[in-house]
């Protein structure tokens, strides 16, 4: 019984480590990219193609260069542990910058 409990704890520990790992978009293999939820062969090829031209500088660079990669997809990938230059995607839509409407009239 003790062996079963230890085996279960060991398996849960490894699963936790696997889920906590991050994946650098500039270094990810084709297989690693294909394994991400929401990334298929077409998006993987587009990421790899753009990455060959130049490494991605940040998430804005990724979303502007990779066709099919918008803020929603970037946010989803970031939640899965994908990073660009070590940074996660910060969805700008959730933190809008207040717009200036000019002086307030009384």
Domains contained in the chain, CATH given: 22-90 (1.10.150.320)
| Coil, helix or strand at residue 82 | strand
Model-level pTM greater than 0.95?
no
Among residues 17, 25, 19, 21, which one has the least CA distance to residue 87? 25
Strands (DSSP E) contained in the chain are 23-24, 82-83
Distance of CA 37 to the CA centre of its chain: 10
Per-residue pLDDT of the chain (106 residues; tens, 9 = 90+): 877 776 666 655 554 544 558 999 999 999 999 999 999 999 999 999 999 999 999 999 999 999 999 999 999 999 999 999 999 998 554 444 444 455 555 5
Among residues 67, 30, 72, 31, which one has the least CA distance to residue 50? 67
């Amino acid at each position: 019984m003790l062996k079963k409990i230890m085996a279960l704890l060991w398996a849960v520990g490894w699963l936790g480590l696997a889920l906590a790992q991050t994946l650098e978009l500039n270094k990810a293999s084709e297989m690693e990219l294909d394994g991400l939820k929401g990334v298929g062969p077409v998006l993987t090829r587009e990421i790899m193609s753009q990455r060959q031209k130049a490494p991605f500088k940040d998430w804005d660079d990724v979303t502007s260069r990779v066709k099919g990669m918008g803020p929603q997809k970037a946010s989803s990938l970031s939640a899965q542990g994908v990073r660009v230059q070590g940074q996660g995607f910060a969805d700008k839509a959730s933190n809008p910058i207040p717009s200036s409407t000019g002086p307030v009239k009384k």
